[in-house]
Structures are given as structure tokens and as C-alpha cells.
Amino acid sequence: MKGLMIQGTASDVGKSLIVTALCRILSNEGVSVTPFKSQNMSNNSYVTREGKEIGRAQGIQAEAARTEPSVWMNPILLKPRSAQDAEIVYLGKAIETLSGRGYRDHFYEKGLAVIKESLQHLADKYDVVVIEGAGSPVEINLKDRELVNMKVAELADIPVVLVADIDRGGVFASIVGTLELLEPNERERIVGVIINKFCGDLSLFEDGVQWIEEKTGVPVLGVLPFVENHMIDGEDSLSIRTQFAYPKKGTLDIAVIHLPFISNYSDLEPFLFEEDVTIRWVKYASEFGQPDAIIIPGTKSTISDLQNLKDKQLDILIKKHVANGGFILGICGGYQILGEELIDKSGSDTNIPNFHAKGLSLIPATTTFYQDKETNPVNAQYHQATGLPAHQRLEGYEIHLGKTTFSNEAKPFLTLANGDDEGYFGNDGQIIGTYLHHLFHNDEWRNQWLNMIRKKKALPVQGVKSISEYKDKRFDILANEMKSHFKWDLMKKLIHQWGTK
């Protein structure tokens, strides 16, 4: 197998972004390339064409590589459901929920076997595999049964590049400390270091590069600038903080309720590129303000997050906002929260069978949670009752537990390709609920919804912005930017000549 593994000195140092760039660089050079991450922990997921669930980052990396995303690129996905437990998604399908201890004690051999199978599958199909690690390779308390870093590099028998984030400080200590804590055989596999998120004049770090190389004997393969607005979806809560930490000021104020177990927050990212939109998180009542619209996003623990929302008295503010004519849209778990009642019949959401909770009662609906999860790609059009252009097509995906039924007559939002009704469309679009993730990645719909709000504020309507086309261009912009700072000829040599001597 030919390839390269990107590991980090810590979480959120930029591994996912670098793997994405490498996939597009190699693809641009005519190489058949695939991403791989053995085990991902994220509630930000991606549904493949077959309706299987993988980490969002690997789906995006596959798009950058110009190949079809598959479960072999991320065979194990852990989706946190509480501070202690996570749902295990195995080859795209949820199989069980385990505690951290339970996972470590009982899943290791099964995990190891599927990682080996996945690597072999990818080696048979692609010329090069670019592998992403997780966290740090020297978490001493976890190393003996880890499935994400050096064990994977050993199974694939490929070299490793270590990434360090200079923006957070302590870059020299993080590099040297990581190398010192590796076992000798692991240390031999490290062939280079990348310094990421550098701000300012790169020439000012030349002495730093020299020191690292002299101290460690490992070449610095690149010093990468801090890349803003890269439009590459993140995979964890750290990415949320980074991407939405400093909202721009626009004339449309959209408040997003920050649920503790938020999932698939990539639903929101297209708003970052609408010039007149401010998109901001709301965790507490003091942050609520007077938004033009509210979005309640998806969640991995709907009833728990509903209670959290009530505990903070955000439910009162949300209902007042709607009563005053404000727009609200709930996606997946957010849609369920907007209903009248939530019934956990199987205990799949709360671990308490037949648990009942009262929703916000903004939609006349009841959601009942069963054991089986829906994971489907979706093609749809607006339901004729909405009065929206019926010819427009929408694409996205469903990932949810629970079925939502209406207690009285209601307008559906969408008509699915199989003819089924989906979602809720109330008060001419003031209140909307849907299970469709990536709804706002549909450029025409996003424009339609924002223009509803603009009209209410007596602002001029705007035309459609093609974020989807811009996103693909961003892959090339990112790849070209990164490549200009890599020692690319050396990196290619490392990929193709490792283990040949």
C-alpha cells in the first residue's frame, strides 16, 4: 500500500483540512486517491449514496479526492450520546451503544478486524491512501488498545507526518514531547513535521524550522498559513467554536440554539457566505436578543437537549419570538423539539422505555422514538400545498431516530421522491420542521427562505448564490495554497518510496 498518514500533536490541529488538501492535490495530479480514518468520534456525519453513515470529514475528503464516499473510508464512527456513552456506527450502520470502558474492553478485536478489511479494500481500489489520525498518538493511558494512530500506520505500513498547531502556542514542546513519548519503532515511522495555522510573515519562522530539524532530526515538510473561510466542514465541537466564534455583522440576524449534543452542524455553514446574514450561537437566555429567525439544529439526544433548553428558559423566549411573527426552522432533532410531545417508546433516546416529554408545541405533532434509525439519502421537491415552486429539487439526507405524526391537519413541507410527505410548513413558512439535513446547502431553498425574511424586514430580495460551485473551487484554492507551502517533491517521494529499500 502506498500512502501517508497525518497525525497530530493534539485535537483540532488541522489534520482533517490537511488530508482534504492532500486528496485534492493528488487528484489534480491524476492519482487515484482515497481518504481513510479508522475511527471517528463526531456527531457531524455524512450519508453515502447507499444510505450508510460515515464521519463528515471523510465524506468531504472523498469529494476533494473526486471519488465516491464509502463506509470503507471510515469503518467505525462513534457518536456521543452523553458524557459517558456513544453510539457505535459500524460499516455505516448503528449497532449498539457502549460506555468508554465497554468499548475499550469489548470492541477492540472487532474494530481491528474491520480496519484491516477496510485498508485491504482501499488498497485494491486506489493507488494512494491518505490516512487521518485522531487526537495525539501518545495518549499513554490509551496506547495499548488504540485503533486510530500508530496501530493503523503499522497495519497499513505507511509513513507518518506529525502536524502541530502554532496558533495555540507551545509548538516546540508539543513536537518534541510527542516524539519523545513514541516507542522507538513508532518514532522511526515519523518522516516529517508540518507546522499549521501560522499567522504573519513566514520568513520569521525560519529559525524555528532550523531548530526543530536540528533538535529532532526530522524535516519540516511545510509551514502552513492560517486558512480562513476554507468552506471545509469540521467534525467536532472544537470546529464549531473556530468557525462561528466571530460572527460577521449582517442585516439579517439568525440565532442558532446551541444544543449540548448538537449534530450535523454543517447544515449551517452556507450562511457564513451570505453577506447580509449574521449567524450566531445562543446557549443562554442572556444571548438571545431579538433575532429575525431561529434555527434549532439536529441533536444526538433530543429529549435531553429539550430539557436543557427548558432549564435555561430558552423555550419561553422561542415561543415569544414565534408569537411575535418571528421565523423558526427545526432540523431533525430540532424539528422533534418543536412538536407537542416526544415519546421514547423503546428507550433509544433516553435509555428509559416509554419516557414522555412535552415539546414546545409550535407544531401539532408527536414524535415516537423506536429502536431503528433512519439513514437515507433524500431527493425531494416542495409540497404543492406550500405554494413554492414545485419544479425545484432539493437534496440532502436523513439520520434520525423517531417518527413524527401530526395530531391534526397540517401542510407538509416536502414531497419525497417516493411520493411520501415530509416535514411541516406552517404560517406561509414562518414555522418549518424537517428531517432533511443539508437543507440549506440547496442554494435555491436557502435563497427562498432568506428572501422571506428580507421581505418581512422590507429589505430588497437577493439572487441565488451558488455555494456548491464555490465549495468545489475552494478545494482547488486550498490545495494550491497548501501545495505552495509544502516540500511537495519530498512528500511525493515519501509516499511512493517508503519501504522500498
By the 8 A CB rule, do 179 and 218 touch? yes
Catalytic residue check, 356: no
Residue of 23, 321, 332, 438 with catalytic role: 332
Residue 299, strand partner residues: 262
Helix H or strand E segment including 215: helix 206-216
Numbers of helices and strands, H then E, in the chain: 15, 26
Characterize 155-186 residue by residue with b for buried, 16 or more Cβ atoms within 10 angstroms of its Cβ, and e for exposed. bbebbbbbbbbbeeeebbebbbebbeebeeeb
**Are 298 and 327 a contacting pair, CB within 8 Å?**
no
The gap between the terminal CA atoms of the chain, to the nearest Å, is 15
Q: How far is the C-alpha of 317 from the C-alpha of 313, rounded, in Å?
A: 7
Q: Which of 68, 64, 67, 86 is nearest to 77 (CA)?
A: 86
Q: Quick one: 275 exposed, middle or buried, by C-beta within 10 A (0-12, 13-18, 19+)?
A: exposed
Grid coordinates representing 490 are 519530498
- The answer to whether residues 41 and 78 touch, using CB atoms and an 8 Å cutoff, is yes
* Cell numbers placing 50: 447507499
Q: Name the strand (E) or helix (H) holding 124.
A: helix 108-125
DSSP 459: P
In 3D space, the residue among 112, 107, 110 whose CA is nearest the CA of residue 154 turns out to be 112
Cα–Cα distance for residue pair 269/106, rounded to 1 Å: 37
Determine phi and psi for 115, rounding to 5 degrees. -65, -45
Give DSSP secondary structure letters for 440-457. Answer: GGSHHHHHHHHHHHHHHT
Of 58, 142, 133, 74, give the one whose Cα is nearest residue 103: 142
Active site residue 23: no
* Catalytic-labelled residue, pool 230, 258, 383, 437: 437
Cell 410531545 found at: 341
DSSP string, 226-267: P--S------SHHHHHHHTSS----SEEEEEE--TTEE-GGG
Cβ atoms within 10 A of the Cβ of 340, count? 16
Return the C-alpha cell found at 404.
413524527
Give me the active site residues, please. 332, 437
